[in-house]
Chain A
C-alpha cells in the first residue's frame, strides 16, 4: 500500500466561482492536502471588495487556480487550471478558509 502523502499548491491568482459568476477573487492562496486525512483545505487572501456574499452562499462553488505550462520545444504555451469543489467556505477579516474536494486539471 502506497504511503499517504501530503501536497501543497501555492499561487498568487485564484478565484471562487458559482457557475460563471465570480464569488470572490483571491490574491494569494495555499491549498494543501493533509497527509493523514487526505482532505484538502484552502487558505487565501480575498481581493478587497471582490467577495459577493450572495454568490458565496450558493452551491456548488469551485475554487479555480490557473497555471501556465510554458512553451517548450516548439509547443505553444498552455493555460490550464486546477479546480476544486469548495465546502464550508468562510471569509473572516479578508481571509478565506474552506475545505476542498479536488475536481482535476482542465
Chain B
C-alpha cells in the first residue's frame, strides 16, 4: 500500500445522468487546501460551516458532463471553479456535495478495511527473538547484520 496518493479518478453519476469526474482521494496538500478553503477569511483555525460544502466540491471536482449545460471547468483554478459552482442551483449543488461526501466515506471505509487486512497480514513481533532462541544459532563469530529474514513469522 503506497504512502502516496496516485492521481486516480472516479466518476459519479447523478440522478439525471449528469456525471462528475472527481479525484478518488485527496493527497495531504489538497486536503490542507480544502480545509483552508473551509475557513472564513480572518477566522483563524475555525471552520466556516457555510464554506464546507463548496470547499469539498472544489477540492474533489475535476470535470463534469452536464446534459443540460455547456460549462467547461476542466483545468480551471480552484477559485474559478468555486465561482462557477456558486452559480449553481442550490439543490443541484447539494446533490453534487452529497455524492462527493458519500464517495469520500466509501473510499475511506475501503482504505480502512485494506489497512486492517494489511496490518493483520504483516504483523511482526515487537521485539526480535534473542540470538539464543534463534533456531540453528551459529557457533563462533556471528554477523551483527542479519542477511535474511526467518520464516518464523508465517503461521
Contacts and interface: CB of A to CB of B under 8 A. Distances in A.
A18 B8 CA distance: 10
B62 interface: yes
Contacts of A18: 7
Contacts of A21: 7
Interface size class of B (residues with CB under 8 A): under 10
Contacts of A20: 7, 9, 23, 62
Interface residues of A, number: 4
A18 B6 CA distance: 9
A19 interface: yes
Contacts of B7: 18-21
- Which 9 pairs show the lowest CB-CB distances between chains A and B? A19-B7, A20-B7, A21-B7, A20-B62, A18-B7, A19-B6, A20-B9, A20-B23, A19-B8
Nearest to A79: B72
A20 B21 CA distance: 11
B48 to A, nearest CB: 27
Interface string A66-78: 0000000000000
Which of A18, A20, A21: most chain B Cβ within 10 A?
A20
Interface string A1-26: 00000000000000000111100000
Nearest to B74: A20
